[in-house]
Amino acid sequence: MPSAPSPGRFGDRALALDDPDGIRIELVESDAYADEMWPTGLHAVTLTVTSAERTLALLGAFGFTIRREGAIARASGEAATGTHVDVLEAPAAAPGRMAAGAIHHVAFRAAGDDHQAALRVGVEGEGLRPGGVLDRKYFRSFYFRESGGVLFEVATDAPGFAVDEPAEKLGTSLCLPPWLEERREEIAAALPPLAVPARAK
């Protein structure tokens, strides 16, 4: 297993830590949000692949711009947050597997059905085989495995999580899609209690 890259790459100021399952997390400071004491969004995800060339080619086809820093390349989009995909090339890396301490997949946003269809055509144009579009109640998505072995999802915004409850109430109750309703008691019993402190006004 390759050692995780140190925080602070590409000029980021970051504090690295491992979560209870061993997943490396970095808290990245940004000048745009310097006055915020709370995390404001996802900064980047890191993909570890044995060879980065085709993974980066796909991200380029998705519209990301690519820059490099040693063994790491950063693919960047235009959004304010969640816009970077760091690709770490580690030829000796062991294949990922489903277990605690692993991320199952990485999701990309499609603005709507037409955008999603266009991205699907692009994926096929790279010689990859996307699965069918799945209705997840809150969004529609398809999956495919890119050349480096990472599972990607492309999901729509619509209809969104406010289909069950008003936007101002999101996260205050356990909402489930229909196919999980019969397991409500089991799922609720496994959830850890959360106490979220209020923001200072």
Q: All domains of the chain, ordered by start, with CATH?
A: 104-163 (3.10.180.10)
* Residue 2 binned pLDDT confidence (cut-offs 50, 70, 90): very low
- Read off the pLDDT of residues 110-164 as tens digits, 9 standing for 90 and up: 999 999 999 999 999 989 999 999 999 999 999 999 988 899 999 999 999 999 9
pLDDT at 1: 41
pLDDT at 5 > cutoff 60:
no
Q: Are 88 and 96 in contact (CB under 8 A)?
A: no
pLDDT at 81: 73
0.85 surpassed by pTM: no
Question: 141: helix, coil or strand?
Answer: strand
pLDDT at 183: 97
Distance CA 50, CA 52 (A): 7
- Read off the pLDDT of residues 75-118 as tens digits, 9 standing for 90 and up: 998 877 778 999 999 888 877 777 777 788 999 999 999 999 99
**20 Cβ partners below 8 Å, 6+ apart?**
none
> Which pair of structure tokens corresponds to residue 35?
């006055």
**Interhelix angle 113-125/53-61, nearest 10 degrees:** 150
Distance CA 111, CA 97 (A): 30
Give me the residues paired with residue 27 across strands. 15
